[in-house]
Amino acid sequence: MTIVEARTPDPKKFIKGATGDWEIVIGMEVHAQVTSDAKLFSGASTAFGMEPNSNVSLVDAAMPGMLPVINEECVRQAIRTGLGLKAEINLKSVFDRKNYFYPDLPQGYQISQYKQPIVGEGTILLDMPDGQIEVGVERLHLEQDAGKSLHDQHPSMSFVDLNRSGVALMEIVSKPDLRSADEAKAYLTKLRTILRYLGTCDGNMDQGSMRADVNVSVRRPGEGFGTRCEIKNVNSIRFVGQAIDYEARRQVAILEDGGSIDQETRLFDAVKGETRSMRSKEEAHDYRYFPDPDLLPLEFSQAYVDDLAVHLPELPDDKKARFIKDYGLSDYDADILVVEKRSADFFEEVAGGRDAKLAANWVINELFGRLNKEGLELADSPVSAAQLGSIVDLIKGGTISGKIAKDLFEIVWSEDGDPAEIVEARGMKQVTDLGAIEALVDDIITANPDKVEQAKTKPGLLGWFVGQVMKASKGKANPQAVNDLLKAKIGLE
């Protein structure tokens, strides 16, 4: 593989070693389970959490003479994913046998794609705090998952569960374009977001439907790539970050000690936060790849691809651009909202026909903040988009102040109900009656003649007066009116 480097080294990301700086280089191989009811080459179910060996057809168990039959839905999902990654789609691709022995692989080989994958080069954009970076996708290919060996069920026996055997996976291989644990985590997050928008993989890492092999090497800035280690099957985004940080430091320590890195496959031990050696790295020729004689090359027309392209949903980058353009949101707010399609949809429901920035503020700061605190998902939010929209309307229309709105939000959160009716029933309306506010302002001014004098030269004191009046009104006075009146009366105009 010839590698063209797209990135210039960024000193902020370097590891400071005893003998100078080191740059981390990371490339990821992500296995994403294709959203499909049936397996890649059999009709067996892909349902999660079933009784061991209950979702196994004769094909998945590799009974002699059984023939694989390609599941068209998996092909369709792989093409859609390729389109979502702005990648080139290969109208002809080939399934190969990757030969190895393992108890959970009854065929003695995995059907995968090697030289001619279904999807070629693409890109994923990452929005990092100091700017956008483009990460190259090398390829995406379809392959079967293996079964699972169970070692902890019995003190002296191991078992094999073939429920996953034959489940369709997309292996998505990045170029070695990532330069820090944060970038690697952002890459996985973005890839998962895209897959979920497309509906081609549910992205649930804790159920194993998305797993990452993380390739890590280090080098002196400006030099060629170093020898890499591959950390297999890391199953959470947080662990990916920890594994990279540990592994990069391990390699730096060896190199600074005058040693060299063995190219090997390693495992991440989440309990110890360490990586450890599993086996020396196998080479492609060890697998004796060859085209699977049971399967014809996979071919489809450009018209088929074009039709899938036309029906692709709006993807996160486009949605973000639209949120910024149409709703005037900040880059930061738009980023937060588009990570999950559900949040983006929720926001649009709240913002529809309203002050979008105010809506975004209430969705992100009040609602998401509160959900976070309670450890709840948006799907479980006690406050609906319609209720939040109505709170925004009450603020915007001047019926309640921002402060009262927070109290109202609390009531809706814990007691439910129509926000406008709650405001009416509990007398939470903002006082905009200037006469009433003026009386309060006069009281405060009369009671604090010294402060009034000071405020004339120290306008910062105005805030204190506003606070006093607001307090006296139990938060119900219109803060703008209070502000205006105080300024006029103290003579700060």
Should residue 121 be labelled a site residue for ligand ADP when binding is judged by CB under 6 A?
no
| Adjacency order of strands within the sheet including 290-291 | 109-112, 96-99, 290-291
Q: CB pairs under 8 A, 24+ apart, for 264-272?
A: 264/229, 264/230, 265/229, 265/230, 265/232, 266/229, 266/230, 266/231, 266/232, 267/231, 267/232, 267/233, 268/231, 268/234, 268/239, 268/242, 268/243, 270/236, 270/239, 270/242
Report the C-alpha dihedral over residues 32, 34, 38, 44, rounded to 10 degrees.
Answer: -10
Name residue 191's amino acid.
L
Q: Determine phi and psi for 360, rounding to 5 degrees.
A: -60, -40
165-194 residues in contact with ligand ADP (CB under 6 A) are 173-176
Got the DSSP string for 410-451?
A: HHHHHH---HHHHHHHTT---B--HHHHHHHHHHHHHH-HHH
Select 193 or 217, whichever has its Cβ closest to ligand ADP.
217
Q: Are 464 and 450 in contact (CB under 8 A)?
A: no
> CB of residue 222 vs ligand ADP: minimum separation in angstroms?
15
Angle between helices 402-415 and 385-396 (to 10 degrees): 160
Name residue 176's amino acid.
P
Select 109 or 346, whichever has its Cβ closest to ligand ADP.
109
Select 227 or 448, whichever has its Cβ closest to ligand ADP.
227
> CB of residue 29 vs ligand ADP: minimum separation in angstroms?
5
Determine the residue with CB nearest ligand ADP: 27
Residues 6+ apart with CB under 8 A from 488: none
Should residue 29 be labelled a site residue for ligand ADP when binding is judged by CB under 6 A?
yes
Select 25 or 329, whichever has its Cβ closest to ligand ADP.
25
Should residue 217 be labelled a site residue for ligand ADP when binding is judged by CB under 6 A?
yes
Should residue 464 be labelled a site residue for ligand ADP when binding is judged by CB under 6 A?
no
- Segment interacting with ligand ADP (CB under 6 A) among 27-35, 94-102, 266-274, 339-347: 27-35
Should residue 215 be labelled a site residue for ligand ADP when binding is judged by CB under 6 A?
yes
Select 88 or 223, whichever has its Cβ closest to ligand ADP.
223
Which residues of 145-269 form beta strands (DSSP E)?
148-150, 159-161, 168-174, 210-219, 229-234, 264-269
Among 185, 190, 228, 266, binds ligand ADP (CB under 6 A): 228
- Name the nearest CA neighbour of 323 among 315, 312, 333: 333
Size of the site for ligand ADP (CB under 6 A): 16
Among 22, 23, 27, 39, binds ligand ADP (CB under 6 A): 27
Select 26 or 181, whichever has its Cβ closest to ligand ADP.
26
Should residue 28 be labelled a site residue for ligand ADP when binding is judged by CB under 6 A?
yes
> CB of residue 376 vs ligand ADP: minimum separation in angstroms?
36
Should residue 289 be labelled a site residue for ligand ADP when binding is judged by CB under 6 A?
no
Select 261 or 378, whichever has its Cβ closest to ligand ADP.
261
Q: How far apart are CA 454 and CA 458, in angstroms?
A: 6
> CB of residue 66 vs ligand ADP: minimum separation in angstroms?
29
Should residue 218 be labelled a site residue for ligand ADP when binding is judged by CB under 6 A?
no
Q: How far apart are CA 114 and CA 98, in angstroms?
A: 9
> CB of residue 165 vs ligand ADP: minimum separation in angstroms?
22
> CB of residue 3 vs ligand ADP: minimum separation in angstroms?
7
Select 84 or 226, whichever has its Cβ closest to ligand ADP.
226
CA-to-CA separations, 54 to 50, 61, 206, 328, in angstroms, rounded: 7, 11, 21, 52
Should residue 473 be labelled a site residue for ligand ADP when binding is judged by CB under 6 A?
no
Q: How far apart are CA 170 and CA 83, in angstroms?
A: 14
> CB of residue 178 vs ligand ADP: minimum separation in angstroms?
8
Select 137 or 394, whichever has its Cβ closest to ligand ADP.
137
Select 286 or 442, whichever has its Cβ closest to ligand ADP.
286
- DSSP type of residue 473: T
Q: Which residues bind ligand ADP (CB under 6 A)?
A: 1, 25-29, 173-176, 215-217, 225-226, 228
